[in-house]
Amino acid sequence: MITRRQVLAATAAVTAIGSGGVLAHLPSPAPGRKLFSAAEVEVVTALAEAFFPAGNPIGVAGGGVDVAGELDRLLVDELDHVVAPVFRHLLRGIEYGSVATHGARFSALEPLAREEVLAEWAEPANVPRRMAYEVLKTCVGWAYFNAPQVRAALGWEAECHAGAA
C-alpha cells in the first residue's frame, strides 16, 4: 500500500528532477489568494482546462470555474500544512518540465500539447511521475467538483433531509 508520506516524497522528487532544483523559492500569494502566486494560478487553470475541456460530458469547462481559488482554499483550510508547499513545487515541476519536452511552460502550451504532457506524466512506466500526475488530477478534480456550477450541472443537492421520513 502506498502511504501519504510516499506520495509526498515522490512528488518532491519529481519536482526536483523536473525543475532542476532551482525553483525552491515559493512566492507570495496573488491578490485575493491565500496561498497561490499569480503564476501558480495560471498553472492550476491550465490543468483545469486540460482535465475538464470545453464540451466535456459534464457541460462545465474547467476554465469556466475558479478551480485555482477553490484549490487554494482547500490546501490552506482542509489539508495538513505540509501538503501545500509540496503541491506548489509539483506545480513548478509540470510548469517548467514541459519546457524541455515541448519548448514552453505548461500554462503557455496549446490545449493539445497540454494533453500530450499530461499523457506523458500518466504513463505507468515512470512511477514517481505517475504518482505526481495522480496528485495533480485528484486535487484539481477535487476543486473542480466543488464548484457550484459543476454541482448544479450534476444535479447535486446538498440539503439535509434529516427527519423527512
Torsion angle defined by CA atoms of residues 95, 32, 146 and 109, in that order, rounded to the nearest 10 degrees: -20
The residue whose grid cell reads 515559493 is 26
Mean pLDDT score of the chain, rounded to an integer? 88
Distance of alpha carbon 120 from alpha carbon 122, whole angstroms: 5
Residue 25 pLDDT level (bands cut at 50, 70, 90): confident
- pLDDT tens column, 129-149: 999 999 999 999 999 999 999
Q: Which pTM was predicted?
A: 0.81
Distance of alpha carbon 120 from alpha carbon 106, whole angstroms: 13
pLDDT for 16: 56
Distance of alpha carbon 119 from alpha carbon 15, whole angstroms: 17
The more confidently predicted of residues 112 and 21 is 112
Residue spans per domain, the chain: 4-152
